[in-house]
């Protein structure tokens, strides 16, 4: 079957893409509202861009009512966000945090999630998340007719739970993917988990 992207609408293009470009990692993003409460929302149009500087990218559409999403507004105003990698026990809370709340309402409070100071960083992190990146805004670009907001953020520091890390003989860190157990986003409201992991060395 050939799907002609010039002959279908943007909603269909979206569904065709998210159901084939998978699995995708999920960025569970905490930002600060102007009133000091914390916003939390998941995004799976999310990837690493480069290491010098260490950049991640999120791609955000608009709210159903048309304006920018709170994550973009807060990040642009305050300059900072914390990106968490949700794991299996967090699946439902992560999904629930995608509901559109009133502009300054906190998903963190509504879902009863615990925060922990992120030592050396401007914002707290979710206490139960095993990976958190403390990030600072690098650049925002708007793409396409939406417009879609591309948020480029620079990682300032990372928290990783010692329980999922092994330090190898050469001093490098090895994260145990099974212990981390990250949630992967598929299409059609489906999610996946890592069950079958294989190791393959790179050719010389």
Ligand X SMILES: Cc1cc2nc3c(=O)[nH]c(=O)nc-3n(C[C@H](O)[C@H](O)[C@H](O)COP(=O)(O)O)c2cc1C
For residue 61, count other CB atoms closer than 10 A to its CB: 17
| Binding-site ranges for ligand X (CB under 6 A) | 26, 39, 41-45, 59-61, 63, 69-71, 95, 98, 100, 185
Residue 18 CB, nearest distance to ligand X (Å)?
9
* DSSP code, position 203: P
Residue 71 CB, nearest distance to ligand X (Å)?
3
Measured distance CA(139)–CA(136) in Å, rounded: 9
Query: Whose Cβ is closer to ligand X: residue 23's or residue 165's?
Result: 23
Measured distance CA(131)–CA(68) in Å, rounded: 27
* DSSP code, position 158: E
Residue 12 CB, nearest distance to ligand X (Å)?
17
Query: Whose Cβ is closer to ligand X: residue 59's or residue 165's?
Result: 59
Query: What is the dihedral angle through the alpha carbons of 116, 121, 123, 127, rounded to the nearest 10 degrees?
Result: -20
Query: Whose Cβ is closer to ligand X: residue 45's or residue 138's?
Result: 45
Query: Whose Cβ is closer to ligand X: residue 143's or residue 167's?
Result: 143
């Amino acid at each position: 079957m050939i799907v002609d992207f010039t002959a279908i609408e943007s909603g269909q293009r979206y569904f065709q893409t998210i159901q084939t470009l998978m699995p995708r990692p999920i960025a569970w993003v905490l930002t600060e509202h102007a009133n000091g409460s914390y916003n939390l929302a998941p995004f799976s149009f999310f990837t690493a861009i480069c290491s010098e500087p260490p950049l991640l990218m999120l791609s955000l559409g608009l709210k159903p009512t048309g304006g920018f999403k709170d994550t973009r507004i807060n990040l642009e105003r305050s300059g900072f966000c914390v990106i968490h990698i949700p794991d299996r026990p967090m699946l439902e809370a992560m999904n629930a945090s995608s509901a559109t709340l009133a502009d300054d309402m906190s998903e963190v409070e509504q879902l009863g999630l615990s925060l922990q100071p992120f030592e050396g960083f401007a914002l707290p992190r979710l206490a139960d998340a095993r990976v958190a990146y403390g990030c600072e805004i690098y650049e925002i670009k708007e793409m396409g007719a939406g417009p879609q907001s591309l948020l480029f953020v620079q990682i300032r520091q990372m928290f990783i739970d010692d329980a999922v890390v092994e330090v190898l003989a050469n001093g490098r860190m090895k994260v145990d993917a099974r212990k981390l157990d990250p949630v992967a986003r598929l299409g059609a409201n489906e999610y996946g988990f890592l069950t079958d992991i294989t190791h393959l060395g790179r050719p010389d």
